[in-house]
Structure formats: structure tokens, C-alpha cells
Amino acid sequence: MKSFFIILAIITLFRFQAFPQITPTTSLDTICGHKTHWDQEKRILPWYKPEIPGAGYVQVMKLASEFIKSGTPVDPKTGLKIYFISCCFQGPHIRSQADFEKGITWEEWMHNPACVWAGLVQGLVLDYRVFSGDETYTKVVQEMLDYQLKNGTTPADWPWANVPYASSDPGSPIYQGATRWEHEGMRGDGLHGIEPDKVGELGIAYLKFYEVTEDKKYLDAALHCAAALAKHVRELPSDLEPFTAAEIIKSPWPFRVNARTGIIISEYCSNVIEPIRLFDELIRIQKQINLTPEQISTFQRARNIAWKWLYSKSGPMKTFIWNAYFEDIPNDPERSNRNQVSPLETARYLIKNPELDLQLETNVPALIHWVASVFNTEGMDAIKEQTWCYAPMASHTARYASLCALWYERTGNPWYKDQAYRFFNFATYMTYPNGVVAVGPNWPGSWFSDGYGDYIRHYMEGLAAIPEWAPADSDHLLRSTSVIQKIVYKPTEIQFTTYDENASVILRLTNKPKQISVNDKKLTENKSGGKNGWFWEPLKKGGILRIAYEGGKSVKVIK
């Protein structure tokens, strides 16, 4: 045991040596080069247009999204954009502008492609593309997914077949698990190592991307992920009876496993929500994609095993052992590390599926407040990443803010709105005007996960939950229960199509619409709200449009 902590100390020291840009915060007068702004209540305000609530959120989304689309440097050796070969880089505020543009400032640290691509499917394709109307983001992310399918997927004849690798060696154009840290606690998964939770996370991203494009190869990729997860799910003690054993060493899927041999590398992972989301969506659209009865039964069984474990006295909803998510953390056989990703993403799922938890009003606040307590940062409205990397970061701060916004939307409790406001505001400071997003106030280097895949989407969630923060001088679709396949904004109308023939949609508009139609059939205004028709909520400028419809995919809003 003593040797383990010595090794951990050495690894921690190495990481900080590998990222020399980590610096202590000595003053909050400026954060990442931005002068800080405060209101009369001593709440921090965004660095961009602090006088307009929400304007800073839109600005950092725009800057970060455009950086991925057109500002990412190319590695001179491989000819690939650096997000294909590295998890992170140093921006021109650390290195010179010339070095940055040459593509030589990426970091020698294990890559995490599956996590990055999954986040960007949500943040760029499902969210910002729809918000902005810029369809080119689909092609940008499609290139990422195609690259993973070709260069980072296990062979079809392995025990874990046709699934994505979660990590890779820096600089390598081929993903097969990061190998350079195998003797340092198996950081980066090792050769042929995969992470089943990332199989679920990228699996649901493949599926959602299929719903946008209807390109069958992404459906096939999602089905491969689901099949592997269903094949390898483990039934564990999952009852709530007194005087019975609890299993806290294993989980339905291990955190790390060798895909070629099937040998388990790390037994426990609390992040079962991503596989559950994948199974849920496949089962929901089973008729559209022609699932067989055998597939449905297999997926439902695996989903039920994971769900029952999650709420059992062996699962993290009872034990709060929210352990194992990040690919660059050593194996943790004692499950001593804690992270905020899994509990908050579990809370997000519960808010969006409230019928599944009869104790929702207790469980969701418990998850939010646990994170607020364990990962808070003294003197800052910022959330730390995990107990083994106990540093405040923009993405996790924005995640916490987005959950507070969602819970405010559901409950109307103003405390959560204030929390969302404070933490969203703080997280804006990590975005530089050139679109480079720093990890955190003490960590000016950049990660493609923390600064982009796991950052943009949280601001979109916040705007959808609190639409008054969305721009008053332009039109934007903020949320849809069905994937938006295409959207066009025109001065006098908005047209969009959805994957499903029924949906609920929220838009922020500059003025009340004159008419709304679905498949050219007029939709009725419902002035008292309701499930069918449309409802207009006026604000000081413009208002919020809520549409609920069925029986069509093509929607037209005439202004």
C-alpha cells in the first residue's frame, strides 16, 4: 500500500512537470487575461458584455465552436489537426503565435478521443449547429467519427468487438489504448485496453449522429457498441434487503478491460448512465431501425441490470462511490478517487426522465449538493475535477451550472438559478478571444475535452433551461426532444426538420410568430400551454416559443 502512494506521488509530480503552465491564483482581479467584472452583490459577471445576462455565454460558445471548425492547428508530421493526435495543447498565450500556428505546441500526454468526439457530437452537432444554423459543423464532426471508426475501433473477431478505444498515445495516428504509461498504474488503458463506459458514451453519440444524417454506418457503430455492452454486462448483488451483502468492488461493467483478451484491468466504474442512454435510445426507436426481438430483449436485459445496480445498496446512488471516469488516472483498486462527472450526468438523466425515480426531488438535489460540497473552490465559483486532480476547471464548473439551471427550470427555486448564473459567469473567463479555452484559472493550457467537447454543450443546456438568457436580438432554437436534422433561419421564417414525427421544441424569437405549420398543416396556438400546439411567452424583448406537435417532421415558423 505504501508503494502505491509513492508511485502515485511520482505520477502526480510527473503530470505537473508535463504541464508547467499550472500556476497558483494570486488575485481575482484578472482571470486568464480578462479583467474581472462584479455586480453590486459581489457576484462575478462574464468578461464579455457583463451588463447583458447570457451574452457572455453565447460569445464563448461561438469562440470555442469556431476554433474547432477553423482555428485548430495542423500537426506538421502527420498532416492531421492536432485534436486527432493529442488531448491538449499550449495556446499562443503560453507559447509563441508562430509555434502555435505551426502545430507544434500539442502536449505529450495520452489522448482521449472517444470522450472528445462524444462531447462534440452533442456540443457542435446537436446543439451549436442548431443554435447558429451553421450546417458545416456536421462535416467537421463527421470527420472525427469517421477517423475513429477507421483508426480507433477494435477488430470484429475480438471478445470486445467493433468498439472504440478511449485512449491513445500522443502523436499516434492510430488509437489502440495509450501504451506509454502501462507501468505507471495503467494510465491510458494500455495496449488494447478499452473503457466500457466510453463505449456507451461514444455509442450514444454515434446513434444521435445517425439520427441527424441517417447514414447507416453510424447506426451500425452504435449497434456494435450496444451489442458488446450487452454481451459483457455482469449481474451483481442488487437488492435492498437487510442483512445481505453489498458488492462495492465490481460494477456491471469494469472501468478498464483488454478488448483482445477480455482480461479485466480495473473492476469498478460508477458511470453506467452512458450505456443506459444508449440502450434507452435504441429501444425507443426500435421500429424506425428495425431492431429484432432478440436485440430488444438483450438490450433491455442489460439496461435493467445496470439500472437496478445503480439504485441498489451496491450502487453509487446509495454508496456515493462515484469512481472511475478519466482515462489518464491510474488504476484505483481501493476506489478512493471521486469525480463529479458521473453524479452530475446521472442527475441530468434523471431530470430528463423524471418518471424513472420516485424520489427525484430528494435524489437530484443530493447529487448536486454533494458535488457543490466536495468539489467547491474556496474564493471562486468554480468546481474541481476529481479528488486525484483537485483543480478547478471551466468544463466542470459549467457542468455544475447547467445542472443548477435544469433544476431551477423544474422547481423554480431561485437558489439554483443564482448558482447557475454565478458558475456559468466564472467559466466564461477561461475562453480567450481567439477561441482558445484554458482548462481553468490555475491551468492556462488547453484540453479538447475540457475546453470544447465538455464545455460548449453545458452553456447550450443552460440557455435552453433559462431561455431569457438567450439573445433577444436574434432567433435561435434552443432545445428539441427530437434530433434536428436541418434548420434554416430566414428573416421572415424558420424551417427545421426532426428525426421523429413528434417533438417538443423551445425557441427564443425576436417577435411572436404569425403562423406555425407541421408538414404544411397549421398548428393551433394554445394560449394556456399544453401538449399540442404552440405557446408564446412574451419577454421585454421578443419572447419564448414552445411548440409541441406530432404527425410530421417538417416545421415552419412564419414571423
Mean pLDDT of the chain: 94
Whether residue 349 contacts residue 340, with contact meaning beta carbons closer than 8 Å, is answered with no
Written as one letter, the residue type at 398 is A
Q: Which of 179, 183, 18, 14 is nearest to 90 (CA)?
A: 18
List the beta bridge partners of residue 12.
none
Task: Tell me what percent of the residues of the chain surpass a pLDDT of 70.
Answer: 95
d(CA 26, CA 192): 43
- Under the banding of pLDDT at 50, 70 and 90, the label for residue 9 is very low
Among the listed ranges 33-47, 96-110, 236-250, which one has the minimum average pLDDT value? Answer: 236-250
Q: How far are the Cα atoms of 271, 523, 559 from residue 520, in angstroms, in the given order?
A: 43, 9, 15
Task: Find, among 197, 213, 333, 368, the residue nearest to 270 by Cα.
Answer: 197
535 vs 303: CA distance, rounded Å: 36
Average pLDDT over residues 421-434: 98
CA-CA distance, 13 to 3, in Å (whole number)?
15
Question: What pLDDT, on the 0 to 100 scale, is given for residue 531?
Answer: 73
Amino acid found at 101: E
What separation, in Å, do the N-terminal and C-terminal C-alpha atoms of the chain show?
68
**Pairing between strand 515-518 and 521-522?**
antiparallel
Dihedral angle sign, alpha carbons of residues 96, 102, 103, 105: negative
| Per-residue pLDDT tens over the stretch 483-505 | 999 999 999 999 999 999 999 99
Note the pLDDT of residue 22.
62
Distance, in Å, from the CA atom of 393 to the CA atom of 439, rounded to the nearest integer, reads: 5
Rounded Cα distance, 473 and 131, in Å: 14
Torsion on CA atoms 133, 511, 550, 358, rounded to nearest 10? 90
Q: CB-based burial of residue 226 (10 Å sphere; 0-12 exposed, 13-18 middle, 19+ buried)?
A: buried
DSSP 232-255: H---------TT-----S--SS-S
Helices (H), 2-125: 2-18, 55-66, 97-102, 113-120
The pLDDT tens digits of the residues spanning 429-441 come to 999 999 999 999 9
pLDDT higher than threshold 90 for residue 551: yes
CB 422 within 8 A of CB 381: yes
**Integer CA distances (angstroms), 421 to 27, 55, 228, 470, in order:** 21, 12, 41, 13
pLDDT tens per residue across span 260-278: 999 999 999 999 999 999 9
Report the distance separating Cα 25 and Cα 379, nearest Å: 10
Q: Cell for 258?
A: 483488454
| C-alpha dihedral, 115 to 121 to 123 to 126, nearest 10° | -150
Report, as an integer, the average pLDDT of 88-93.
97
pLDDT tens digits for 352-403? 999 999 999 999 999 999 999 999 999 999 999 999 999 999 999 999 999 9
Identify whether the C-beta of residue 137 lies closer than 8 Å to the C-beta of residue 167.
Answer: no
Q: Is 306's pLDDT higher than 70?
A: yes
Q: What is the pLDDT of residue 21?
A: 54
Helix (H) / strand (E) containing 35: strand 34-35
Strand pairing category for 476-480 and 380-386: unpaired
Q: What is the 3-state secondary structure (H, E, C) of 406-430?
A: HHHHHHCCHHHHHHHHHHHHHHHCC
Per-residue pLDDT tens over the stretch 211-243: 999 999 999 999 999 999 999 999 998 888 888
pLDDT score, position 1: 38
> Would you put residue 171 in left (φ > 0), alpha (ψ -120 to 50) or beta?
left
Q: Could you count the other beta carbons within 10 Å of the beta carbon of residue 533?
A: 17
Burial class (CB in 10 A: 0-12, 13-18, 19+), 86: buried
Provide the 10 A C-beta neighbour count for residue 372. 17
**Would you place residue 244 in the very low, low, confident or very high pLDDT band (cuts 50, 70, 90)?**
confident
Pairing of strands 30-31, 34-35: antiparallel
Beta bridge partners of residue 486, listed in sequence order: 497
The neighbour count for residue 483, using CB atoms within 10 Å, is 21
Task: Return the pLDDT at 26.
Answer: 57
d(CA 509, CA 470): 9
Q: Do the Cβ atoms of 64 and 71 come closer than 8 Å?
A: no
Beta partners for residue 509, in sequence order: 543
> Reduced to 3 states, what is the DSSP secondary structure of residue 324?
coil
* Amino acid present at 273: I
Distance separating alpha carbons of residues 375 and 471, to the nearest angstrom: 31
Predicted local distance difference test score (pLDDT) of residue 307 = 98
Q: How are beta strands 88-89 and 446-447 bridged, if at all?
A: antiparallel
349 or 8, higher pLDDT: 349
Q: What is the pLDDT of residue 335?
A: 97
